[in-house]
Amino acid sequence: MNDKRALRSRLLADRRRRAVGDGAADASRDAARRLARLLELPELPGDRTTPRAAPTGAAGAPDDAAPGAAPTVAAYASFGTEPDTFALLDALAARGTRVLLPVLLPDLDLDWARYEGRERLVSGDAGMVRPDGPTLGREAVLGCAAVVVPGLAVDERGVRLGRGGGSYDRVLERLAEQRRRGGRHVPVIVLLHEGEVLERVPAEPHDRPVDIAVTPSAVHRFPRPAEAEAEAPDVDAPADVQAPAAEAGPAGAAG
């Protein structure tokens, strides 16, 4: 917990330094490289070759109303020193992908609303923006083809460090629960600056790993042994490993 706090402030300070030190040209070059890698990921749906091309034989606009017609991706609207996501949001929309953005709830859990262009974003809480349209419920994320999440760092296991509200911990847990019930696996992709893929990030029992991290220079994939187990349920996996109980410390020593 305190380990996380210390690492968070170091990473945020690095981000502020980078924003000041690097010019706008560096930032936009990095953003373009990151975006190019992202848009090539097979996990992100949409037509990569001919944006907005009408299907053969179909006249007019894509059939938005047909159930399941438009693949959906949940992402976020970047702010401050986060890797910029606006070009991603517009690129996804341009290739026919429906995009959801988070709406922060009073308990710091996340609801979702559809991204319908920058001009339809309004000020939300904590310096962020949100779509002005109706919210779709916390579970809306479960139907997405992929989820793009913010983070400050990720480690070689895919363990992600966030801002500390636990918002995305809850989203990742919701997705993991769907998977445990035999539902679809929704790949989770975190966007980072260069140097934010670390050897180790402090992990707590509630942390769920992400699948992919994208930086300007690389795509990192974090394969999960559990995925193989899910296909073959008879493997000898420990069902319910208990961590050794921590010794009650001397904190409240009897006097």
Ligand X SMILES: Nc1ncnc2c1ncn2[C@@H]1O[C@H](COP(=O)(O)OP(=O)(O)OP(=O)(O)O)[C@@H](O)[C@H]1O
Residues that bind ligand FFO (CB under 6 A): 76-80, 82, 102, 104, 110, 126-128, 150, 162-163, 165, 167-168
- What are phi and psi for residue 180, nearest 5 degrees? -60, -30
List the x/- string, 121-160, binding to ligand X by CB under 6 A.
----------------------------------------
Please identify which residue in 131, 167, 212, 213 interacts with ligand X, judged by CB under 6 A.
Answer: 167
Residue nearest to ligand FFO (CB): 127
Q: What pairing do the DSSP bridges indicate for beta strands 219-221 and 160-161? A: unpaired
Q: For the CB of residue 207, give the shortest distance to ligand FFO in the complex, in Å.
A: 14
Say whether residue 204 binds ligand X (CB under 6 A). yes
For ligand X, the closer of residues 99 and 161 by Cβ is 161
Q: Which does 128 bind (CB under 5 to 8 A by kind): ligand FFO, ligand X, none?
A: ligand FFO
Q: Which does 97 bind (CB under 5 to 8 A by kind): ligand FFO, ligand X, none?
A: none
Q: How far is CA 171 from CA 26, 95, 116, 144, in A?
A: 32, 26, 22, 12
- Sheet containing strand 110-114, edge to edge, reads 110-114, 98-104, 72-74, 146-149, 188-191, 212-214, 219-221
What does 71 bind: ligand X, ligand FFO, none (CB cut-off 5 to 8 Å by kind)? Answer: none
Residue 171-200 contact track with ligand X, rule CB under 6 A, x = bound: --x---------------------------
CB 68 to ligand X: min, Å: 29
Task: Report yes or no: 172 and 158 within 8 Å, Cβ to Cβ.
Answer: no
Tell me how long the chain is. Answer: 255
Q: 169 contacts which partner out of ligand X, ligand FFO, none, CB within 5 to 8 A by kind?
A: ligand X
Angle at 119 between CA 115 and CA 122, to 5 degrees: 75
Q: Which does 161 bind (CB under 5 to 8 A by kind): ligand X, ligand FFO, none?
A: ligand X
3-state DSSP of 33-97:
HHHHHHHHCCCCCCCCCCCCCCCCCCCCCCCCCCCCCCCEEECCCCCCCCCCCHHHHHHHHHCCC
- Round to whole Å and give the CA distance between 113 and 8: 28
- Does 10 bind ligand X (CB under 6 A)? Our answer is no
With CB under 6 A as the contact rule, the residue among 10, 185, 200, 206 that binds ligand X is 206
Measured distance between the N- and C-terminal CA atoms of the chain, rounded to whole angstroms = 29
Q: Which residues bind ligand X (CB under 6 A)?
A: 4, 161-170, 173, 204, 206-207
